[in-house]
Amino acid sequence: MPDAPSALTLDTKDAGATTAFRPSPSGPKPRWSRVVLKLSGEAFADPLGAPIDGDIVARIASEIIDVQSELKVQLAIVVGGGNIWRGQTGAAAEGIDRTTSDYMGMLGTVINALALQDALERQGQPTRTQTAIQMSQIAEPYIRRRAMRHLEKGRVVIFACGNGNPYFTTDTTAALRAAEIEAEAILKGTHTTDGVYDADPRTNPQAKRYEQVGYAEVLSKNLRVMDLTAISFCMDNNLPIVVFNMMQKGNIRAVLLGDPPIGTLVS
């Protein structure tokens, strides 16, 4: 009797998907052909406090599908888990061991990844979730070459569990995975701001948004873009980051087309 298919068995249900998923020479010209989109967990939450709002997740999924299908940009997504649990905050507030608390945070990212995968697939987009901590009943394990193959076939890939290690964040994971899968840029979608400012725009009305800023300036001024480990990793590996407002419809597409420029490019 043949073995039951495992999470490691290659799926054939969308085997007809193109094997060269690339922007068409005659269509709109995206700035990059493979990117990592970093979504904070809070992007999934509803304003009244529920950790996951189905309508919001469906809206994010439809924007992702729009850039996949129209711009033919290969999209890998790193999901955060801050809407469910943050290791450091949880450890401090509840007295939980920090490493354990970080594992709880990593499990939170899996919940978000499954919600997003479900929303994408319900709208017809083939999607694979890969986890940095193995949970083969739920998702594939993270395998770099396999992730790249999925992208080439036009599947969306979601990376969950961060990089699998405590004391890290999903921002750093986005940088690491982007370098590993040879993505050309990181799109950091936020729900709180539309870019990087020279001061806090909530308290300083004179604060100015940068259209472009260097890694060194972000580090020296401690501008709140991503955590500093992620920024220095991007600097060392020459990975551009665009920080933009995820809550405004059409912004993923706008960032990829770059015209008019939105958000802040860190490079």
Min dist CB 92 to ligand UDP, Å, is 11
Of the ranges 9-17, 53-61, 74-82, 188-196, which one interacts with ligand UDP (CB under 6 A)? 74-82
Q: Which of 81, 189, 240, 263 is in the footprint of ligand UDP by CB under 6 A?
A: 81
* Other Cβ atoms closer than 10 A to 55: 9
Min dist CB 230 to ligand UDP, Å, is 9
Min dist CB 141 to ligand UDP, Å, is 15
Phi/psi of residue 37, nearest 5 degrees: -100, 120
Residue keyed to tokens 């979504």: 39
Applying CB under 6 A, the site for ligand UDP has a residue count of 22
Distance between CA atoms of 145 and 51, rounded to whole angstroms? 32
Q: Which of 21, 32, 159, 168 is in the footprint of ligand UDP by CB under 6 A?
A: 168
Is there binding between residue 106 and ligand UDP (CB under 6 A)? yes
Min dist CB 112 to ligand UDP, Å, is 8
Min dist CB 38 to ligand UDP, Å, is 7
- DSSP-assigned states of every residue in 60-129: HHHHHHHIIIII--EEEEEE--TTT--HHHHHHHH---HHHHHHHHHHHHHHHHHHHHHHHHHTT--EEE
Is there binding between residue 63 and ligand UDP (CB under 6 A)? no
Of the ranges 5-13, 64-72, 145-153, 159-167, which one interacts with ligand UDP (CB under 6 A)? 159-167
Q: Which residue intervals of the chain are DSSP H helices?
A: 54-66, 87-94, 98-122, 144-152, 170-180, 215-220, 228-236, 251-257
16: its two tokens: 């007809």
Is there binding between residue 263 and ligand UDP (CB under 6 A)? no
Residue among 42, 161, 191, 65 nearest 119 (CA): 65
Contact residues toward ligand UDP (CB under 6 A) are 40-42, 80-82, 86-87, 102, 105-106, 108-109, 162-163, 165-166, 168-171, 173
